[in-house]
Amino acid sequence: MQTKILKNKKEFFISPTSPFHFDGTFHKPSHFPDKLDDWETGKYWQAIRIDKKIFGLKIENKGEAQNPKIKVSVFYDKNITDKKIENIKQEIIWRFDLNADLKEFNKLAKSDKRFYPIFKKWLGTRNSSAHNLYELLIIAVLLQNATVRRTVQMTNALLDNYGTKLKFDEKANGFGELTINPTLHIIDGQHRFKAWVDLMKSGYEEFEDFEMPLVILSGFSELDEVVQFHVINSRQTKVKTDLAHRHYLKLSKDKRKV
């Protein structure tokens, strides 16, 4: 896959209709987890192709739910015309339904006492799609024959072999080095970690480069940590050992192999 570095940048602002939910619009929980975009609270990155030319987008939340405003940074390689900028602006407005009139829906939602607390949490979320029709058709065709996980693998394989990797705003798909400033608290696995630390202190140098898999959870409160500990230790399923038992019995018959 070729890598294209986009260093040039132009910015503009869009004022969506209110109310507006930035994160609910640009990163839905049910999003298709491919390599075409990236997100963190209040910020969204995406590659977009307009008239056979590819650009990098960084979209930031600069307003509030009732007074929405978003900042769009367009990254490009050489030059870009004002007309092209306007085309990109209109494409963003259309894809993410930023001019939607939600007054009637919000009025109906408020009358539903049972579900309004949920509607209120996501108030202003739009019925949006980050992809164009061609990209959606590829995803739909792949999904007809496989699970979501397998479809993501096939989509990424297509991107790796036939796509263009973009690097802009210090963003690029791939592996990197994670720097952690705050102290991490271990929710589960303290004994295993302590055993590894004791090995290091005892001089077992062969374990110095031992790879220890872990999952880092961000933004958790103390209550969230307690809940997660309960989930880990109450819902985990043991791996069946039937296969190991069969192999053990088979090997036991031949004393030379035991």
With tokens 């619009």, the residue in question is: 25
Q: What pLDDT, on a 0 to 100 scale, did the predictor assign at position 246?
A: 67
Residue range 90-125, pLDDT digits in tens: 999 999 999 999 999 888 888 988 888 888 888 999
Q: Is residue 68 packed enough to be buried (19+ CB in 10 Å), middle (13-18) or exposed (0-12)?
A: buried
Q: What pLDDT, on a 0 to 100 scale, did the predictor assign at position 159?
A: 76
Six-digit token string for 57: 């987008």
Q: What pLDDT, on a 0 to 100 scale, did the predictor assign at position 220?
A: 67
d(CA 140, CA 133): 10
Mark the ranges of the chain whose per-residue pLDDT is less than 50: 173-177, 257-258
Contacts of 171 (CB under 8 A, 6+ apart): 38, 45, 56, 58
Contacts of 188 (CB under 8 A, 6+ apart): 228, 229, 232, 233
d(CA 247, CA 234): 30
Q: What pLDDT, on a 0 to 100 scale, did the predictor assign at position 200?
A: 76
d(CA 230, CA 154): 35
Q: What pLDDT, on a 0 to 100 scale, did the predictor assign at position 177?
A: 43
Q: Which domains does the chain have, with CATH numbers?
A: 2-167 (3.30.310.20), 190-257 (no CATH)
How many residues in total does the chain contain? 258
CB 26 within 8 A of CB 41: no
Question: Taking the model in full, what pTM does it have?
Answer: 0.63
